[in-house]
Each structure stands twice: as structure tokens, then as C-alpha cells.
A and B are shown apart, each in its own frame.
Chain A
Amino acid sequence: MVDKATEIKSVKVDGTPARGSFIQAVAAVVWKDLRAEFRSRELFSAMLVFSLLIILIFNFALELDVKTRRSVTAGVLWATFAFAGTLGLNRSMAIEKDRGCMDGLLLAPVDRSAIYFGKVISNLIFMLIVEVIVLPVYSALYAINLFQPGLILVILLGSIGYVSVGTLLSAMSVQTRTRDILLPILLFPVAIPVLLAAVKASNGFLTGAEWAEILLPLNLLIAYDVIFIAVAFMVFDHVVEE
């Protein structure tokens, strides 16, 4: 893979943004994040252990016996993903702010939205990796098969919506005085539609509900993803400007 520095340089040389340069810039941001994470493994291990702990707590808080499990599995999964996701979102923007990396990123002669999409994709990758590990663990612990194509689709759509709003809000919250503690307060009320629709759709797939019943929340998820990615794309400039 190309080094981040050369990647940015190749964009710079182009002068006027070429067609491929936007995607190149996005890829450079994603690659930078993945590589930094691969070296430190701070964020990933924290998210993973945290989500396993949440499941453990839910196990005793809700007394997940066979009967309850059927109805609450979707809820437990999404609460876990939401909490673990907040951890990751906070961290991914905090490291940029702490060591002045954000200024470096902003100096790059690329469209600001490339930084946003790069951050969204890397956050999404972290969240999906955690989910990919949590699912089999949950399946094994509670003898429920969670590997259904429909459920995977819902998790993908839900994570996209959650991360796209979360990345925008975490870019805002790191610039405030209260920093980390503000992100969940900002994010949860705005992300409620995506969480509710995801729980409803997941539940539908897990209980084998009729297609018509699942289609509605699924459409809502898609609508949420499209609307909020579009808005975040338009306003991200205002968040990072100095």
C-alpha cells in the first residue's frame, strides 16, 4: 500500500482536483487511521472489551433466560453497539485534536468532506469489526443464530447511519470544553430514529416476521442514512473551519 505522505503529495501535485483525487484523499485518511490503530490497538481492544462487558451486564440485569432472549436480543445488541460506538467515535476525533493532527489534515489541499468521509469509513470499519466479533460470541453464549443475511444488512445500515451522524457530532464535541462527555448527550437523541428502526428490523428478522413488517423500518433506516450523510457532507466545512 502507498504511504500516507506520498498519497497526499500525489493529490497536491495534481493541482486542480482530478476525478480520482477525492477518492484517493478519502482512502488516505482511512488508511492513516487503520494503520495508527493497527500499531497501537488501543481503541479496538477497548471497544471490544467494553461491548463484552455490556453484554455481561445485560445478562444479569435482564436475566436473559430462553423466554426473554427471544424478545430482547435485538435491543441488547443495539444498545451494545451504540455504547461501544460512542467510545470509538470519541477516541477517533480526540486523537486528531490532542496531537494537532487535525490541523495537519486540514492543511492538505483536498476537499474537507474527504476528511469527513475518510473518518466515517474508518469509524465504520472499527464498529463493524467489533460487531463481527460480538455476534458469534452472543450466538455461542445464548444459542441463537445471529448470522442471517437480513440481520447483517440491518446491522450494516444501522451502523452507517449511527457513524455518519456520530462522526460529525464528535468533530464538534472535541472542540468544546466538556469534550468526551458531551458526545453521547448530543448523539443519542438525534440517533434515536436509527436505533429504533434498527431494533425493530433486527427483531423482525430474528423472529421471522413477515416481509411487509420488516420493510417499513428498513426503509426508514435507508432514508435516515441518506438524509444525514447528505446533511453532514454539506455542513462539515463549518465544523472544522478555524
Chain B
Amino acid sequence: MQPKPVALKVLDLASIILLAISTYLALVFAPTERVMGDVQRVFYFHIGTAWTALLGFILAAVFSVIYLIRKDLKWDRFQVAAIEVSLVFFLITIVLGSIWARPAWNTWWTWDPRLTTAAITELIYAAYFMLRQGIDDPDKRASFGAIYALLGGLSAPLTFFAIRLFRTIHPVVIGGTNPEADGGFSMTADMRLAFFFALFAFTVIFIDLFWNRLRLGDLQDNVEQLKLKVSM
């Protein structure tokens, strides 16, 4: 087994440190929001995980296209890694959002465009893994996975528009104002620092997890090949 690359070890360590600092900034350093109180602190990680999850889903769609053109299984491993990490991050986003929504909107859940799109996106990528599980041939699995990830990536924004035909109460903190939004606020300088630091920290954590997952995929492939060799 090839040892873990040094750069990856460094990145692992950096991720842990960044997460610790970001937690401190979000929970202690940033001032308490006037109206919502402490529960607003959820916001920093909520956006941090949401941003990286969306980044991962977009990357996965790009990897799909590259795989379908090149037919190189390397891109399939990239895609799986991106989607798997993003799926978990997005789940964290939804759970954190729900925790915030209980006091802010007085409900755990509402059928708002963002929330609904998030839930459906999770379902799409859960279906993606169910599809992959049902196929044994690696090339076919990769092709079907790439096609489905592409379809999912295209339909998610359309879902958002479709649900917006109904209505929204989700606040938009960064740019844009919605008079019907509930729970919006403007950030102070300290909040902004905690916010951008969280974005940065989660991006690094995402890259770290992505890399680890990629390495796991390579090792899985090696194991498959060794098994084939032994059985022959």
C-alpha cells in the first residue's frame, strides 16, 4: 500500500486547525445578532457547507462531461468523490438551516424554493448512488453515473425556478433583498470576518476530504484488481 502523501497529511492537519479557528470565530468572536440572538451563529457554518456542497455538485457535472468525452475512469473517481463529500455537506447545511428556522420562522421546515430544491438535490444524489450500486460493470457504472449526475445538475436549477413560481420567505443576506423574506440581517465587520473565514475553512476541508476520498477510490480499485489476480 502506498503511504499517505505528505501534502495530504499537512492538509488534514490544516483542516482541523481551520475548523477549530472557524468554530471559535463563529461561536465566540462574532457579535450576537440583535434580533435572533445566538441561534444566528448557525449561519456561518450553514453558508460554509452550502457553498462547498454546491461547488462539489457543479464540479461533479463538469467531471461528468469530461468522462463522457474522454471515457477515462479517473474522471469517474473524481465525480464520485465530489458527490459523496457534497452530499454529506449539503445534509449538514439542511440540518443547520432547520435548527435556525425553528426559532426564526417558527417551523423546522417550509416548502420554500431553496429548502425544497435542497431536499430534492439530496434525493437526486441519493438516487445516483442507488443507480451505481445496481451496476457491476465499471465502465457502464461510470457512464450511467455521469449521465445521471449531468441530468441532476441540469434539473436542480430548473427545480428552483419551478418552485419559485410558488413563493419564498428565505432571506438573502449576500446581495439582493426580498421584502417578503423573514430573518434577514446585515453583517458587522466582525461577522463578516467570521463569515469569510468559515467559507475559506470549509473550502479547505472540502478539498481535504475530496482528496482523501479520491485516494480511497484508487485503493478500492487496487483491491479489486488484486482480487481479480488472486481468483485467476
Contacts and interface: CB of A to CB of B under 8 A. Distances in A.
B162 A228 contact: no
A99 interface: no
A185 B68 CA distance: 23
Interface stretch (A24-32, A102-110, A217-225): A217-225
Interface in B131-182: 131, 133-136, 140, 143-144, 146-148, 150-152, 154-155, 158-159, 161-163, 165-166
B159 A165 contact: no
B150 A235 contact: yes
B148 A189 contact: no
B89 to A, nearest CB: 18
A200 interface: yes
Chain B contact surface mostly? helix
Contacts of B226: none
Contacts of B150: 231, 235
A158 B131 CA distance: 25
A109 to B, nearest CB: 23
B155 A192 contact: yes
Contacts of A200: 162, 165-166
A160 interface: no
Contacts of B154: 227-228, 231
Contacts of B120: 189, 192
Contacts of A223: 158
Contacts of B158: 193, 220, 223-224, 227
Interface string A223-242: 11001100100010011010
A172 B134 CA distance: 11
A182 B147 contact: no
A197 B130 contact: no
B16 interface: no
A49 interface: no
Contacts of B223: none
Chain A contact surface mostly? helix
B127 interface: yes
A189 B165 CA distance: 18
Contacts of B155: 189-193, 228
Contacts of B143: 238-239, 241
Nearest to A217: B165
B165 A216 contact: yes
B124 interface: yes
A160 to B, nearest CB: 15
Given A238-B143, A239-B147, A193 B131 contact: no
Given A178-B130, A238-B143, A228 B151 contact: yes
Contacts of A189: 120, 123-124, 127, 152, 155
A231 B158 CA distance: 14
A235 B61 CA distance: 14
A213 to B, nearest CB: 9
Nearest to B128: A186
Contacts of A227: 154, 158
Interface in B96-127: 120, 123-124, 127
A7 to B, nearest CB: 29
Contact of B151 (A176, A197, A231): A231
Given A189-B155, A239-B144, 4 more contacts: A175-B144, A191-B155, A220-B165, A238-B147
Interface of B: 68, 120, 123-124, 127, 130-131, 133-136, 140, 143-144, 146-148, 150-152, 154-155, 158-159, 161-163, 165-166
15 contacts: A169-B151, A173-B131, A178-B134, A186-B130, A190-B124, A190-B151, A193-B162, A196-B163, A200-B165, A200-B166, A227-B154, A238-B146, A238-B147, A239-B147, A241-B143
